[in-house]
């Protein structure tokens, strides 16, 4: 059955394009078996890269991380790196998007009928490109987002390695539903020791006492997080990779989140109280400008191959 | 695209039948969008009931638990209890199965295009019936399964409520792959305090010093676990619902696992060493006999409505 957004017979599929089961299709038609272990056990890994003004941003870093995640889970996408790269380009091309959110997933696949032996599963790989997604829309970035510090504990590294990008988000989603109840847009979770970890798809930074304090551990090694640290250091801003506490967050001058889905975005309210002056601060604005400017830098970005035949 | 096992034009679909998007189909054709939050965030809950010799076993208990899980996650299946029950019967009927594994899932669904607001998602519900699945096949039950105690920590209740049946299984699957490396068939994980929790779809019991010690906490409220406790008490066997330690497991006279997928199954090797005499013990055998006998008891089982039109 086609989704309303997936019915176009031929590209461009502007609602999004996917590559799955060895072929391209509108993203609304991209479906996986309800028996895939990626569904029934969330036994899979993924990565998301973005395209901005026709260029992939830090594609190599994302492909490196995706390869490391698959190796850690003993998953084989059935494609080499060039093959993965080719279908990522293909999805953006077929969607005809200049600004895109581009996701790649490798799942354990289906076990043989009747078997409960994971080794009988043939892994599956798919990817898709969607119009660019903002965790916090540009208009919202003018005033800044409102964040809640959740009472839920982020799934700890002793259970699921957070450096393997994964879909284990029930803690994040329930925390987010609770944040909505408290008039917040974003949420951040703590670890078992009380330290700040991450939110629903974003890392968190706080500017406290003149330093920058990214969460020290228990988080995904975010590529945008890394970009921010590099850009801040280039700008002469000290970055202390220490342990970010809830107290730091509550008394910070500036708070921001980083994500492939939106870049560097200001947070101006934490737990109902204004951060600093209650407006996006100068450090956040400066880093955000540097971040978007770096998208034209060939050290960081790769042009989409729009002309290549699918 | 149809799966090899899903192509039959008309029932019975003996490889399995599903109900999804408001219609029945062969299970190989049952697919969900790769954009469903049930996939991208494992934001969903499920339950599994079995059919044995044409009768659902403890269907009410499973429906109760499924309803509680959905309420906890604020999910709406778009079906009332009678509607859910009807499609479960329908799947078994269309698969023509006398012994079946019957699964029901409710996912958060898809957010509106471009949105990151969970509240824009319309929840989805599907179910399917497969031929009965054994965690440990009847032949293997003659000698008993081999279990490994994993070094990974089960996702803790502070992060994901284990009483909400969920697909957050990466810890379990990675532990299982490690168990295979150590010549084991099954695995069990500990909690942060070192206590035994559960395995990949089963609860664990150990018979130590004449008592029965189910894991005390951090596990799913298994229906088969509950059945075992009730049957054991009916048989005059003491059951201590305390804290099961790895030490208990290693010096037990008998160890068994319980699951809807296979019932009560003996474990005869733990971490490479024999349990008791190294063969399935008398208590396990007795409880297993009582368990299967209870399937004919109308207090516990409900006949499948095989004759009703789909």
**Residue B9 maps to a domain:** no
Q: Average pLDDT of A147-159? A: 96
Q: Which residues in chain A are closer than 8 Å to B35, comparing Cβ atoms?
A: 27, 30, 128, 130
pLDDT for A8: 67
Rounded to a whole number of angstroms, the distance between the first and last alpha carbons of chain A is 24
Structure tokens at B60: 């009410």
pLDDT for A2: 40
Interface test with A, best of B116, B138, B262 (most A CBs within 10 A): B116
**Residue B12 maps to a domain:** no
Interface test with B, best of A158, A161, A175, A202 (most B CBs within 10 A): A158
**Residue A57 maps to a domain:** yes
CB-CB contact of A66 with A10 (8 Å): no
CB-CB contact of B32 with B126 (8 Å): yes
Q: The CATH number of the domain where B153 resides is what? A: 3.20.10.10
pLDDT for B216: 66
With CA atoms as reference, the chain A residue closest to B108 would be A173
Q: What are phi and psi of A276, to 5 degrees?
A: 55, -125
Q: What is the pTM of this model?
A: 0.95
pLDDT for A216: 66
Q: Give the residue from B100, B131, B162 where a domain finishes.
A: B131
Average pLDDT of chain A to the nearest whole number: 93
Distances (CA, A) of B109 to A33, A66, A136, A159, B38: 15, 25, 21, 26, 6
Q: Which residues in chain A are closer than 8 Å to B191, comparing Cβ atoms?
A: none
Range of the domain at A234: 138-295
Strand, coil or helix: B290 = helix
A173/B5 touch (CB, cutoff 8 Å), yes or no: no
Closest-CA distance, B93 to chain A, in angstroms, reads 19
Q: The CATH number of the domain where B40 resides is what? A: 3.30.470.10
Clarify whether residues B62 and B148 are in a common domain: no
Closest-CA distance, B199 to chain A, in angstroms, reads 13
Q: Which residues in chain B are closer than 8 Å to A18, comparing Cβ atoms?
A: 34
A34/B31 touch (CB, cutoff 8 Å), yes or no: yes
Clarify whether residues B103 and B152 are in a common domain: no
Clarify whether residues B172 and B216 are in a common domain: yes
**Residue B38 maps to a domain:** yes
Nearest to A284 by CA among A262, A305, A308: A262
Clarify whether residues A289 and A221 are in a common domain: yes
pLDDT for B220: 78
Nearest to A128 by CA among A164, A95, A79: A95
Closest-CA distance, A262 to chain B, in angstroms, reads 11
Q: Which residues in chain A are closer than 8 Å to B160, comparing Cβ atoms?
A: 155, 168, 170-171
Q: Average pLDDT of A106-135? A: 97
The model's pLDDT over A261-305, given as tens digits with 9 standing for 90+, comes to 999 999 999 999 999 999 999 999 999 999 999 999 999 999 999
Clarify whether residues A83 and A221 are in a common domain: no
Nearest to A88 by CA among A53, A49, A54: A49
Structure tokens at A67: 């390869």
Max CA separation in chain B (angstroms): 61
**Residue A305 maps to a domain:** no
Clarify whether residues B112 and B238 are in a common domain: no
Clarify whether residues A144 and A274 are in a common domain: yes
Q: Give the residue from B69, B99, B131 where a domain finishes.
A: B131
A42/B170 touch (CB, cutoff 8 Å), yes or no: yes
With CA atoms as reference, the chain B residue closest to A189 would be B159
Q: Tens of pLDDT along chain B (310 residues)?
A: 344 444 567 999 999 999 999 999 999 999 999 999 999 999 999 999 999 999 999 999 999 999 999 999 999 999 999 999 999 999 999 999 999 999 999 999 999 998 999 999 999 999 999 999 999 999 999 999 999 999 999 999 999 999 999 999 999 999 999 999 999 999 999 999 999 999 999 999 999 987 777 776 777 788 999 999 999 999 998 888 888 999 999 999 999 999 999 999 999 999 999 999 999 999 999 999 999 999 999 999 999 999 976 5
Provide the edge-to-edge strand list for the sheet that holds A301-303: A23-26, A17-20, A122-131, A100-110, A44-52, A55-57, A301-303
Clarify whether residues B117 and B161 are in a common domain: no
The model's pLDDT over A64-94, given as tens digits with 9 standing for 90+, comes to 999 999 999 999 999 999 999 999 999 999 9
Clarify whether residues A153 and A114 are in a common domain: no
Clarify whether residues B288 and B185 are in a common domain: yes
**Residue B247 maps to a domain:** yes
Sorted by sequence, the CB contacts under 8 Å of residue A283 that are 6+ apart come out as: A207, A212, A237, A253, A254
Q: Which residues in chain A are closer than 8 Å to B18, comparing Cβ atoms?
A: 34
A34/B134 touch (CB, cutoff 8 Å), yes or no: no
Q: Give the residue from B103, B131, B159 where a domain finishes.
A: B131
Distances (CA, A) of B270 to A18, B228, B256: 45, 21, 11
pLDDT of residue A211 exceeding 80: no
The total number of structural domains in chain A stands at 2
Interface test with A, best of B31, B257, B265 (most A CBs within 10 A): B31
Clarify whether residues A65 and A210 are in a common domain: no
With CA atoms as reference, the chain B residue closest to A112 would be B5
Clarify whether residues A127 and A159 are in a common domain: no
pLDDT for A6: 46
Q: What ipTM, to 2 d.p.?
A: 0.96
Put residue A114 in one of left, alpha, beta given phi > 0 → left and psi -120 to 50 → alpha: left
- In this complex, the residue of B117, B167, B176 whose CB is nearest that of residue A118 is B176
- In this complex, the residue of A15, A46, A160 whose CB is nearest that of residue B155 is A160
Give the single-character DSSP code of B276. Answer: T
**Residue B309 maps to a domain:** no
Q: Average pLDDT of A95-117? A: 97
Distances (CA, A) of B242 to A198, B195, B214, B271: 35, 10, 7, 22
Interface test with B, best of A123, A159, A175, A187 (most B CBs within 10 A): A159
**Residue A11 maps to a domain:** no
pLDDT of residue A308 exceeding 80: no
With CA atoms as reference, the chain B residue closest to A185 would be B117
pLDDT for B238: 86
């Amino acid at each position: 059955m086609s989704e309303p957004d997936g019915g176009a017979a031929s590209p461009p599929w502007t609602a999004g394009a996917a590559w799955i089961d060895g072929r391209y299709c509108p993203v609304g038609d991209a479906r996986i078996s309800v028996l895939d272990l990626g569904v029934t056990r969330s036994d899979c890994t993924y990565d998301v890269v973005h395209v901005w003004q026709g260029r992939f941003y830090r594609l190599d870093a994302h492909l490196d991380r995706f390869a490391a995640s698959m190796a850690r889970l003993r998953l084989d996408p059935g494609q080499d790196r060039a093959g993965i790269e080719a279908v990522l380009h293909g999805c953006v091309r077929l969607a005809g998007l200049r600004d895109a959110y581009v996701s790649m997933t490798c799942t354990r696949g289906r076990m043989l009928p009747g078997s409960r032996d994971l080794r009988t599963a043939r892994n599956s790989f798919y990817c898709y490109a969607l119009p660019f997604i903002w965790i916090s829309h540009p208009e919202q970035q003018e005033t800044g987002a409102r964040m809640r510090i959740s009472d839920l504990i982020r799934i700890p590294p002793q259970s699921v390695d957070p450096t393997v990008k994964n879909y284990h988000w029930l803690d994040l989603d329930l925390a987010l539903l609770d944040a909505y109840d408290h008039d917040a847009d974003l949420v951040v979770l703590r670890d078992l020791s009380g330290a700040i970890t991450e939110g629903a798809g974003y890392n968190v930074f706080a500017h406290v006492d003149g330093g920058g304090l990214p969460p020290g551990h228990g988080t995904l090694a975010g590529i945008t997080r890394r970009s921010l640290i590099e850009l801040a250091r280039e700008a002469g801003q000290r970055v202390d990779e220490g342990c970010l506490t809830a107290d730091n967050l509550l008394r910070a001058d500036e708070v921001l989140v980083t994500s492939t889905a939106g870049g560097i975005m200001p947070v101006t309210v934490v737990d109902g109280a204004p951060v600093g002056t209650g407006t996006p601060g100068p450090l956040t604005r400066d880093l955000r400008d540097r971040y978007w400017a770096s998208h034209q830098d060939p050290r960081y970005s790769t042009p989409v191959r729009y002309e290549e035949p699918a």
